[in-house]
Amino acid sequence: MKESRAYHTLEKIVLDKGILKDLQQMSLFKHTGKLEVFHSMLLKYCPKNLHFHYSSMSARTQLAIMDHNENVHCKQATTTSGVQRYNVVFPKHSKEWVAKKPFEPTTQTFRDELVNVVLEYRRNPNIAVPDESSQLTVPTLPANIARKPKPAKEDAISRSQDFPNKASAMLYIDSCALVEL
């Protein structure tokens, strides 16, 4: 039946490069819930609204990773009698009551361990304080991504004082950005 019209139609569909590429992508699909949990943890150590120098940002990211790794396998919370707990919630997107598993509180025992290691390292007379192996080398960072040159501080201050409150300043800045595009 390899010469039949149905066979050739099926072969054309099954061997279509677009479908094969889509299937390959679909087979690699993963739920991103755990990644979102990590990003939430990262924001506790590296809030977006604060600027950190490279070495500080690197250290904060490493702390977030250690915190996440310590708590990634939290167990479901139980009652005092050992029965697993559940919270019944009504998410807006599903509009159905569902049972969610609450987890045990997180721990940060890695912090105590880290402090002990640092103190032990510092008290060791065989280790020089300005040890070259502990120095962080800052990679060449790209130029600023701002589309406009940085204004003089006085200009920025005078422009920000033209607004009666912060909300109207944000609207003004947003409307300028829309006009320029």
Question: What is the band of 48 on the pLDDT scale with cuts at 50, 70, 90?
Answer: very high
CA dist., res. 118 & res. 12, Å (int): 64
Q: What is the pLDDT of residue 171?
A: 41
Question: What is the band of 159 on the pLDDT scale with cuts at 50, 70, 90?
Answer: confident
CA dist., res. 57 & res. 70, Å (int): 20
Q: Which amino acid is at 26?
A: M
Helices first, then strands: H and E counts in the chain: 7, 2
Q: What is the pLDDT of residue 101?
A: 92
pLDDT at 74 over 80: yes
Question: What is the band of 136 on the pLDDT scale with cuts at 50, 70, 90?
Answer: confident
The residue ranking higher by pLDDT, 165 or 142, is 142
Q: What's the mean pLDDT in 152-158?
A: 88
The residue ranking higher by pLDDT, 147 or 76, is 76
CB within 8 Å of 52: residues ≥ 6 apart:
46, 60
Q: What's the mean pLDDT in 64-87?
A: 92
pLDDT averaged over the chain? 82
pLDDT at 172 over 60: no
Q: What's the mean pLDDT in 81-90?
A: 94
CA dist., res. 128 & res. 121, Å (int): 10
Q: Is the model's pTM score more than 0.75?
A: no
Q: Are 63 and 43 in contact (CB under 8 A)?
A: no
Q: What is the pLDDT of residue 140?
A: 83
Q: Are 60 and 45 in contact (CB under 8 A)?
A: yes
Question: What is the band of 110 on the pLDDT scale with cuts at 50, 70, 90?
Answer: very high
Question: What is the band of 129 on the pLDDT scale with cuts at 50, 70, 90?
Answer: low
Q: What's the mean pLDDT in 140-154?
A: 83
